[in-house]
Amino acid sequence: MVRDLIDLYPDNFAVVEYHVYDEYETIWGLDRAEQFYDWLPGGVPWFSYDGVGNVGSHEVYETALLTQLNRPTSMTLSVGAKPIGNDEYEVTIRGCMEPGFEARTVTAYAVAVQVHWPPEISYARNTFRTAASTKDIFVEPDSCNKVMRVITFKPGWDVTDMKLIVWLQDRGSTYPLVVHQAAQTDYPFSPLPKYGDYTNDGEVSLDDFEAFDACFIGPDSVIDSPSICLDAFDVDKDKDLDLVDFARFQQAIGGAT
């Protein structure tokens, strides 16, 4: 079952469950089912990985998942969110492209799901609740781009059981459209850290410079360094900290975002 795979692969498996033709149906979810996937003629349940079509029976879900996880992707993705009002959250989606790939424009999606809802359906996990408006972003090799969206929860929702799921997908209105990368974050949500903010205090300062100096190892030295070093400073995602990263850090400490 899908819920078991969510538990087995919590860091690699982002699932959105849509209900159709029942009391938990939403307009956005029904449109996704009828207009994007056109799955309803074949009945439900219907399951797709990475926007490319029906996986098949539940017996092959894990095999298909492992196949997808072994396929290379050109992009990395991170997500953060902060409250901006009553039941409103600003979601930041940051997509980066690895070197050696072709620049492309993709559509950024952001949805909110409730992890254990509805409670009377034992198999329900990550049930779709609401979505932000989509936004196209252009991503080039060895660089990043980001977009901000707003998601609004309804009063009465159990915010402590909410999860945000974002993904970058080829543009279009019907599948198959490849999902290049996905990311998710559980409540309580945290803002996306600034590049170079090792201390995670919301600014890039001399404290972060001292951390960069301690992390710095030079070019072409692929390291098993503490992941916080690479997360904070490895701008080109080549698993080392070198002059490319230092140049970007100088921009960050000078006020660039």
pLDDT at 144 over 90: no
Q: Averaged over 131-135, what is the pLDDT?
A: 97
pLDDT at 257 over 60: no
Helix-, strand-, coil-residue percentages of the chain, each rounded to 5: 25, 30, 45
The ranges assigned to domains in the chain are 1-192, 206-253
What is the pLDDT, as a whole number, of residue 41?
59
Mean of all residue pLDDT scores within the chain: 87
Q: Which two tokens stand for residue 118?
A: 């509805």
Which of 28-42, 101-115, 205-219 reaches the highest mean pLDDT? 101-115
- From the CB of residue 122, how many other CB atoms can be counted at a distance below 10 Å? 8
Top-tier CATH class for 1-192:
mainly beta
For 24-72, how does the pLDDT look when each residue is reduced to its tens digit (9 = 90+)? 999 999 998 888 887 765 667 778 887 777 777 777 889 888 988 888 8
